[in-house]
Structure 1
């Protein structure tokens, strides 16, 4: 029995060594084809510390993100799907680039420079995540960059009037796998006509390696205020202090501590957490905005961003109808999103940081998801 245990331990050690010391850099494979025949790529980025990220240029989806736990065991920590066909069916935004405008715009309407614009709205009467055919449903031009910090550069040109947004928007998004087990996302955009832009990524994180929901995840958000919303979860314009409310994550707090406090109107509106926190530091410098710690695995994720806010969403609407490639059902509160961004519905709230982009100016935004372990 001892000999068998020793043999299994040796095999595990060899496999772990092989994973950590496998070829670093970026590899490209065929993920499938679009209905019109265009080929879609799957790009695998690896570093020397055991982190691996798979990204497709269809929608810029993060298909998987594999990082070690405290014992050194690598596991995927991002909700993804197995095939391009699965993504083409439509997903609950499982890790794509969101644009032109991340999050919500009330009634799908805004006015810019005296001109009224009407966008696509969902059954709730709001415009969300870029519209009917947002950036998550586009095939982006991809340029892989090999090296010690492999990167994938994605480019898409959104024509004037697409989804009824004004201006031809030229967008570049670069995913870089850094040496210190961090995934950096750089966004850049220019326009030929005044428009509104709010780009983000909608990755769902499950730091347990898909073994449990996120209710025991300990979250810290460096934000002393949060945006109040109406019943459709569109901001009312009120910026509320988090002190003394279920939204206070200024100190590390388990997600499950107050998520079911339905005496709070905002919790009822969101069916849990689905709100935009306002960072105490509103500067455009790259700063620590939030952390998530999963006690069982020991994984710690730090989120750095240049953005003024972050939307914490606790997967309140997942219902198990979508499954992982291994057959794991993605159920309610099985993951969480930390969508770094400007505020939802900013075009309709002059007191919010502006999301207007004009010709001659450049939209720039950076977010870094850095993974560590705690013993």
Structure 2
């Protein structure tokens, strides 16, 4: 399998942050217009022709899928933040960052959904600009029925307002995962970033990380979308301005490809830590088996993850990187989570059972084979992940529901109604973050360089391919899967995400994998 992710070459998708981009997409996608101007959406102000257009003015009903309640809540949110300038934070606990917009004002419609699909309609997805977030991902199970295999909110404005803020599907940065004590040293200075996890450590870039930042939709078409974000110098305590881009493309054979890049644009001589990732919550059964659907019977295989990062009770690295053999961290062979679940107490923190752990591939694996596979014996859906990243953070949702933090509503495609009548239970999902080693910036003995500058850009690439397997994890013949798909088409039509006409394919190329000692 070719991993390909530095540039989208087809259909007018450009990678130059400052140039004009053609707009090949159909009009009316999720509440904004094609205007040929980079950076115009979703920022307010400037050229009137580049403003986002209210949903009521859109005509493509097959693509615009925002219900009346979402529009009403969006209007309330717009009113609350319309006059906010980029001078810090606004909203509850400083939840909004508008450094993306050149005039410093809040973007319009950051919660509107953009839907794309592969040219062969084997996979469908929806994204919102807020956090460049994946909010739905539809693939077929072994019986040919569509299933939405990622957790999210039905009402996407909840991403801006929900106090739990679970990081359902966003891009996380400027530094993903944890930074011990929220501090690091660079440029002969000590820097301090918000200690937003239990008041002790920094998590996913601080109070207002990329997950809380409305990205600009730089360009899009029926199969791909490009998001861009400007992270100002000094924001959240990080040195240097960082210009980031996230590219999502849906390809034939049920493949989702992501490419991320980050460039330090100013000052020219500054070094800053960068660690990006995609923070998706997976349930490959899509909760179709009832309210007690967990991922404990999902089977995980990481054939090259031979070591793990030892952590303390706050999940901060203590230094050692032991072998996984003979431990609950051993997924070198296909292993259901349930097998070692009872032996995992304390792994995900104090008084916690499950995993919230960083697995390291100490030897660079071949790039033509998956580094991680996850499948459900029930649905027959298999995820195969190929990436240029050396590690995986695996979190089995041990704290997604708690008496102290609260609970999160299930969306309709997962058997809920968007209220707390049906919630996402603990251990009913798994997060898999392909990324660099956690807090390597504070572990110099590892000899891993996670500091970047104007002369050293950051890149990240991953490809998720979905297929069907039997209960033992063996591939199902293509002819059998095709027969099942045909028989299930009528049944699944009511839950399928809308197809997009005139799909245009996009090619993706891949960078070479970075050396694990020079990320």
Same fold (TM over 0.5): yes
Please, which of 244, 251, 264 is the counterpart of residue 171 of structure 1? 244
Q: Does 1:217 align with 2:298?
A: yes
Q: Deviations over 1:298-356 (max 9, x none)?
A: 00001111001000100111117111222241110110011000111111011152211
Matches within 5 A, 1:332-347: 332-347=426-441
* SS at structure 2 position matched to 1:65: strand
Q: Distance in 2 between matches of 1:44 and 1:63?
A: 10
Q: Distance in 1 between matches of 2:466 and 2:257?
A: 11
Q: Distance in 2 between matches of 1:313 and 1:332?
A: 11
* 1:310 alignment counterpart: 392
* 1:194 alignment counterpart: 271
Q: Distance in 1 between matches of 2:464 and 2:332?
A: 19
- The structure richer in strand per residue is 1
Q: State the shift of 1:265 in Å.
A: 5.0
Q: Does 1:44 align with 2:138?
A: no
Q: Distance in 1 between matches of 2:366 and 2:175?
A: 19
- Look at both structures and tell me which one has the larger radius of gyration over its CA atoms: 2
Please, which of 174, 179, 184 is the counterpart of residue 257 of structure 2? 184
Asked whether the 8 Å contact 1:141–1:154 carries over to 2, the reply is yes
* 2:463 alignment counterpart: 368
Deviates more, 1:179-188 or 1:345-354: 345-354
* 1:88 alignment counterpart: 160
Please, which of 338, 354, 357 is the counterpart of residue 256 of structure 1? 338
Q: Distance in 2 between matches of 1:92 and 1:292?
A: 22
* SS at structure 1 position matched to 2:310: strand
Deviates more, 1:316-325 or 1:218-227: 316-325
Q: Deviations over 1:138-194 (max 9, x none)?
A: 1111034325xx111000000000100000000000011111211111000110321
TM-score relative to the length of structure 1:
0.88
Asked whether the 8 Å contact 1:286–1:305 carries over to 2, the reply is no
Please, which of 186, 192, 198 is the counterpart of residue 112 of structure 1? 186
Please, which of 113, 133, 139 is the counterpart of residue 61 of structure 1? 133
Asked whether the 8 Å contact 2:131–2:214 carries over to 1, the reply is yes
Residues 111 and 237 (structure 1 numbering): CA distance in 2 closer, same or farther, change over 3 Å? same
| Greater relative CO, 1 or 2 (CA 8 Å, sep 6+) | 2
Asked whether the 8 Å contact 2:313–2:346 carries over to 1, the reply is no
Q: State the shift of 1:76 in Å.
A: 0.4
Q: Does 1:71 align with 2:138?
A: no
Asked whether the 8 Å contact 2:347–2:356 carries over to 1, the reply is no
Quote the RMSD (CA, aligned, Å): 1.9
* 1:324 alignment counterpart: 410
* 1:15 alignment counterpart: none
Asked whether the 8 Å contact 2:275–2:436 carries over to 1, the reply is yes
Residues 267 and 363 (structure 1 numbering): CA distance in 2 closer, same or farther, change over 3 Å? closer
Q: State the shift of 1:271 in Å.
A: 3.1
Q: Distance in 2 between matches of 1:354 and 1:342?
A: 10
Residue segments in structure 2 that go unaligned for 5+ positions in a row: 1-24, 32-65, 83-107, 417-421, 471-519
Residues 165 and 107 (structure 1 numbering): CA distance in 2 closer, same or farther, change over 3 Å? same
Q: Distance in 1 between matches of 2:329 and 2:362?
A: 14
Q: Deviations over 1:110-145 (max 9, x none)?
A: 001321001100324000011101111111110343
Q: Deviations over 1:54-77 (max 9, x none)?
A: 010111111010100001100100
Q: Distance in 2 between matches of 1:267 and 1:241?
A: 18
Deviates more, 1:84-93 or 1:251-260: 84-93
Residues matched between the structures, number: 348
* SS at structure 1 position matched to 2:159: helix
Asked whether the 8 Å contact 1:261–1:267 carries over to 2, the reply is no
Asked whether the 8 Å contact 2:127–2:135 carries over to 1, the reply is yes
Asked whether the 8 Å contact 1:80–1:95 carries over to 2, the reply is yes
TM-score relative to the length of structure 2:
0.64
Q: State the shift of 1:88 in Å.
A: 1.1
Residues 352 and 286 (structure 1 numbering): CA distance in 2 closer, same or farther, change over 3 Å? farther
Q: Distance in 1 between matches of 2:176 and 2:348?
A: 21
